[in-house]
Chains A and B, each alone.
Chain A
Amino acid sequence: MGFKETGVITREELEERGLLPSIERLEKGPIAIAECPEGIPCNICVNVCPFNAVLMDKIYDLPRIDPDKCIGCGVCVPQCPGLAMFIVDLSKPDRALITLPYEFPPEPRKGMRVKLLDRAGNVVGEGSIVKVWQYDKTWAVTVETPRDKWFEVRAIWIPEK
């Protein structure tokens, strides 16, 4: 079963399409991962990236992130209409930093403890928010997660008090 059946994309499916950066690159510092595998007619990421790091020839091509140009700034995260852009940073030896889009109440704040969810909505751990910022109502939230969960975590849930 592929992502069209499950709604969950696997590591292999991302790799086959060249959508996953190498571990070496991830260990050097933050980089964007575009989980956008279908060639939908969209090129917003190309337009918003201040570093021209997203390559696309025709509007129906897959977004390609240039590993040398992308600095993982996260500008694309809250602006991607598919909420499909994530930033992963494996440069710290003991943890991973993941930046993801968030559009629910309550407002996320630095220091909050949150549930970490995988692509199927399973809770796979807890983490802390280390940075938040907003673009037109969509939050970009950077969470600190266990290092071995860098590929799994793709959403957060802020538990009720």
Chain B
Amino acid sequence: MGYYYMPGDYRIIHHPIIDFRRGRRIRFYYNDRVVEAYEGESILAALYAIGYRVFSYSPDGRRPRGAFCMIGKCSSCLSIVDGVPNTRICITPVREGARVYSQKGIPEIPHKLRVEPVETKTIKTDVLVIGGGPAGLQAALTLADEGFDVVLVDDHPRLGGQLVKQTHRFFGARRFYGGVRGFRIAEKLSKNVLERDNIHVYTQALAYGFFKEGVVGVAVRGGKPLNLIVKPKAVIGSTGACERTILFENNDLPGVMGAGGAQTLMNEYGVRPGDRAFIVGSGNVGLIVAYQLLQAGVRVLGMAEILPHIGGWFVHAAKIRRLGVKIYTKHTVTRAIGRDRVEKAVISMIDEKYQPIPGSEKVFDIDLLLLAVGLQPNYSLFSQAGTVMKYVPEIGGLVPIRTYYMETSVKNLYIAGDASGIEEATTAFIEGEIAALTIALKLGDDRSGVEKRRDQLVDYLWREYRMSPVVERARRGKLKVTVSEEDMEKIRRGELDGF
């Protein structure tokens, strides 16, 4: 295939879909060696690109840790950056002259470190949007259009959430960007958001907790650290989801990675995550990541699916099947083999009780084992805020109960997108817009027919979009946690049984 690489460099030069624009070449130190990188890369991406695979060691200092999530959620890349231990280098941008050391187990207290005092700033706004994926971006734009002042914070250095990593065109109706590649939707919406005077964007900004009267604390990293105290009239929580993992021998070996982690490496930073991959899980995420790996020049030796059928949509499966990727249904991964990095994956057929059948093992020579075994909503902020929650397996686990207008049991706290239960981008856009229009209705008057627009959207979401047979399970899940406004009042007063 016509791929070209610099020797010893995993950076993708020619990609069929994405043109990688790299920043200025800079240098930093890794374990006292000079390494080169491009501005805009994260430290981990830059190191991965030149062949590093081990970034830290387990607390007992014995087991090597590699990249797993690539979005600052899993702690497997904790390193010492300019004297600061426990730094997640997967989300820390490279900087000229930085001194980075890999961390072996629990670090010493950095007594000698000169820490700058963290400035605290308090700001008032109409609406705080937490998370700049499709749900948050659409919500912020809708509110800005209605003339409200919005603060949008996102933990990641770039806006766009999951969209940034998607090379394929999205499904759905054109009104919600159907037919446009994910990363292009992200570019377009981020640009729109950044152009608005009444949307104040903070990236590398983690919303860490709710305080009395709806006040939210945000830790802004990057540049000068800032403790941002936001006093909004309403909050939309669109924090998305994180990846699940599963248990098997050596599942912590470097090279065992979340599917989303591999996507971040190859589609956001343009770094090929490996040469030979095996994927566990055939939901849409697994199927799409398989196709994206092929596009990035990685061989995909196969996929294992524990169910008797493929989990994701047929069209996604067909795209990789016709390029020869095998999907082993009724199979699961039982073991990873390797010393410092994964060298082999072992899969087994399973019986009716989902137990591996001895003697049915198949072994694959690989350097990348991707887990695409499901997502879990990022709910911790909402549970801290005190929302009434429910465990719903159909949509990924624990999520807040909400009204049809996306308000939780904590008044003026709304949720939208994967954080409200795993679905996909179109529903994230719609939920974000519904929440935004509801807030607009409450905070303002109804000059532009906001209520009608909102009710039409609610109707479209439930009576048309979610009626597709392929999203039936998610619809069922969302129904279980969606209540009328009257019932929500009862839940707030503790009067509704079961809540």
Contact = CB atoms under 8 A, between A and B. Distances in A.
Given A4-B314, A137-B16, A43 B464 contact: no
A37 B317 CA distance: 12
B314 A59 contact: no
Contacts of B16: 103-105, 137
B179 A47 contact: yes
Contact of A4 (B172, B294, B309): B309
B319 A83 contact: yes
A48 to B, nearest CB: 7
B323 A36 contact: no
A82 B321 contact: no
A118 interface: yes
B324 A117 contact: yes
Range, interface on chain B: 35 or more
A47 B319 CA distance: 22
Interface in B167-207: 168-174, 178-179, 181
Contacts of B317: 7
B470 interface: yes
Nearest to B287: A7
A80 B322 CA distance: 17
A80 B314 CA distance: 14
A60 B467 contact: yes
B169 A79 contact: yes
A125 interface: no
Interface in A22-49: 35-44, 47-48
B314 A3 contact: yes
Interface in A1-17: 3-9
Contacts of B318: 3, 7-9, 35, 82-84, 119, 154
A153 to B, nearest CB: 9
A106 B3 CA distance: 8
Contacts of B170: 81
B123 interface: no
Contacts, number: 134
Nearest to B3: A105
Contact of B2 (A105, A137, A154): A105
A115 to B, nearest CB: 11
B387 interface: no
B172 A60 contact: no
A6 to B, nearest CB: 8
A129 interface: no
Task: Report which residue of B171, B308, B466, B470 has the largest number of chain A beta carbons within 10 angstroms of its beta carbon.
Answer: B171
A58 B173 CA distance: 11
Contact of B464 (A4, A58, A84): A58
Contact of A5 (B172, B308, B465): B308
A136 interface: yes
Nearest to A103: B16
B323 A82 contact: no
Contacts of B2: 105-106, 160
A112 interface: no
Given A48-B179, A117-B324, A41 B315 contact: no
B437 interface: no
Contacts of B309: 4-5
A120 B321 contact: yes
Given A104-B294, A105-B3, A160-B1, A41 B321 contact: no
Task: Report which residue of B295, B322, B324 has the largest number of chain A beta carbons within 10 angstroms of its beta carbon.
Answer: B322
B322 A119 contact: yes
A53 B336 CA distance: 50
A82 B319 CA distance: 8
B310 interface: yes
Contacts of B313: 38, 40, 82
A117 B320 CA distance: 12
B327 interface: yes
B169 A4 contact: no
Nearest to B327: A7
A59 B1 contact: no
Interface of A: 3-9, 35-44, 47-48, 58-60, 79-84, 103-106, 117-122, 136-137, 154-155, 157, 160
Interface of B: 1-3, 14, 16-17, 168-174, 178-179, 181, 294-295, 308-310, 313-325, 327, 329, 426, 464-471
18 contacts: A4-B309, A4-B310, A7-B310, A7-B320, A9-B314, A38-B313, A38-B315, A39-B468, A40-B171, A41-B468, A59-B465, A81-B178, A84-B315, A104-B294, A105-B3, A119-B318, A120-B321, A121-B324
